[in-house]
């Protein structure tokens, strides 16, 4: 399997879903330079109705970022809705960390070493 191919990412998503997170996740085919998949993963968030995706921060990188696209309207939630959204956000964060860990492992890096170099 090619690194970050649709097949690889589908396998990683399937592995992640075995943890029981009820996220709707889909690998979105994207052609980067030289026709390589870039690693775009779309998430359907039931409590935010916004386009959300996870992808490497730079092409070929092992650090992943979550993007929440802007909305045309305000999102107003009660306490229960905010709690449900926070649960979804925790799951999206777990997925992002999982994909990053799998990426580092794939190339033989220790994710802890990479964290020391990250400018977050």
Three-state DSSP string of the chain: CCCCCHHHHHHHHHHHHCCCCCCEEEEECCECHHHCECCEEEEECCCCCCEEEEEECCCCCCCEEEEECCCCCCCCCCHHHHHHHHHHHHHHHHHHHHHHHHHHHHCCCCHHHHHHHCCC
The neighbouring-strand residues paired with 27 are 41
What is the average pLDDT across 70-81? 92
Q: Which of 5-14, 41-50, 94-103 has the highest mean pLDDT?
A: 94-103
Q: How confident is the model at residue 1 (pLDDT cuts 50, 70, 90)?
A: very low
Per the confidence metrics, is the pTM higher than 0.75?
Answer: yes
pLDDT tens for residues 22-68? 889 999 887 655 555 667 899 988 888 888 999 998 877 889 999 99
Cα distance between residue 65 and residue 79, in whole Å? 27
pLDDT for the residue 106: 85
Q: Are 44 and 88 in contact (CB under 8 A)?
A: no
Cα distance between residue 62 and residue 46, in whole Å? 28
């Amino acid at each position: 399997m090619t690194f970050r191919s649709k097949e690889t990412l589908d396998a990683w998503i399937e592995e992640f879903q075995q943890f029981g997170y009820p996220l709707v996740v889909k690998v979105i085919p994207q052609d980067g330079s030289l026709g390589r998949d870039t690693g775009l993963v779309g998430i359907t968030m039931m409590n935010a109705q916004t386009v959300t995706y996870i992808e490497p921060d730079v092409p070929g990188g092992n650090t992943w970022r979550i993007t929440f696209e802007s909305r045309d309207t305000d999102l107003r939630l009660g306490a229960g809705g905010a709690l449900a959204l926070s649960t979804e956000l925790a799951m999206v964060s777990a997925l992002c960390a999982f994909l990053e860990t799998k990426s580092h492992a794939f190339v033989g890096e220790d994710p802890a070493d990479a964290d020391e170099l990250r400018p977050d």
